[in-house]
Amino acid sequence: MNTDQIDLTGRRIIVTGASRGLGRAMATAFVRHGARVLITATNQEALDEVMAECDKSSGDCIAVTADVTQPKDLDRMIHMAEMVFGGTDVLVNNAGIAVSSLRADFWQRPVRFWEVEMADYRRFFEINTFSALQLSRAVIPGMMARGWGRIINITTSLDTMLRPGMAPYGGSKSALEAMTAVMGGDLEGTGVTANVLTPGGPADTRMVPKEMGLPREALISAQAMVPPAVWLASNESDGVTACRFLAANWSPELPLKQALENARAPAAWMGYGTKAVIPGLEPRAVEATN
C-alpha cells in the first residue's frame, strides 16, 4: 500500500527517541504528512537538526529535551503537548537502549545475564519499558474521552528477546511487547488502539555498532518504518489493535490487504492466552488479524 497520500493534518503526535535512527525517520515523515509532532531526546543538538529538517515540511514540530528515565521529564513532555497542541492523538514509544551500550562487540562476546549489574537492568527497563508505560497511562484518558487514539510501541524481533546474551535488552523489550498485547485488550471498544512496530531485524542505526561485523548494506533502513508508522497513525488503521508489524515485511507497492498479510501478526507470542487452564474462562482464540 502506498501511504504517500495519507493525510495526517492536525494529528498530534509524540515521538520519543526522535533525534536519530528509527525515531527521526518516523517523526520527520509524520510532519511531512501534515501532523503536529513533539520530538524528544537527550541531545539538543541532534533535535535541532531534526527541527531544521521538519521546517521544510507542511506540518509542525516542537522539540523537548528530555530523559525518559526521569518521571518529571515525562510529565513535562505531556504538559508541553497539552499546552502547544491541546493534547496527544498518537504516542510513539521509540526511545530505547541496546546491549551495545554494555559491550560494543556483544555479538562476538555475549553479555551473560549474571554479568549485568542490577543498576544496568534498572536503566534498561526504565528506558525500554517503564517510560512507555508512564507516557501511555498519561495520554490514554484524553484519547478515550475523544474516542480515538494510537499507542505505537517499538520493540524488537521475538527471537531477539529470547536469544542468549541479550539480557537485559530482551527482557525489557519482551515486557513492552506483552504489555502492548494487554493494552490492546484493555482498550478494546474505546476507539484507541495499541500496536507494536519493529524493523523486523537489525536496522542501520547506531544501536547496531560496526563491532557487530554486519555489512551495513544488509541492514534494514530506518526509512522502512515510515509506511507502517504513517498508516498506524491514520484513520486507515481503525480497529486494528494488539498486533505487531514487521516493517521489513511491509511492501508499499502492494494493495493494503496483502501488505497487512505480509507484515502483521498478533502482538507478543503466538498461542498466548490459550495455554492456561482457568476455571470458568474459555481459552482465548488467537487471530492473525483484528
Q: 284 to each of 52, 269, 276, how far by Cα in Å?
A: 48, 13, 10
How many whole angstroms separate alpha carbon 194 and alpha carbon 129?
Answer: 15
Q: Is 272 noted as a catalytic residue in this protein?
A: no
- Asked whether the beta carbons of 13 and 24 are under 8 A apart, the reply is no
139: cell is: 495520554
Q: Which pairing describes strands 264-266 and 243-246: parallel, antiparallel, or unpaired? A: antiparallel
* Catalytic residue of the set 85, 106, 130, 169: 169
Nearest to 87 by CA among 43, 149, 32, 129: 149
How many whole angstroms separate alpha carbon 257 and alpha carbon 246?
Answer: 15
SS3 per-residue string spanning 127-144 = HHHHHHHHHHHHHHHHHH
Q: Going along the chain, which residue ranges are E strands?
A: 12-15, 36-41, 60-65, 90-93, 149-154, 192-198, 243-246, 264-266
- Asked whether the beta carbons of 147 and 190 are under 8 A apart, the reply is yes
Nearest to 18 by CA among 152, 201, 113, 149: 152
How many whole angstroms separate alpha carbon 94 and alpha carbon 18?
Answer: 8
- Catalogue the active-site residues: 169
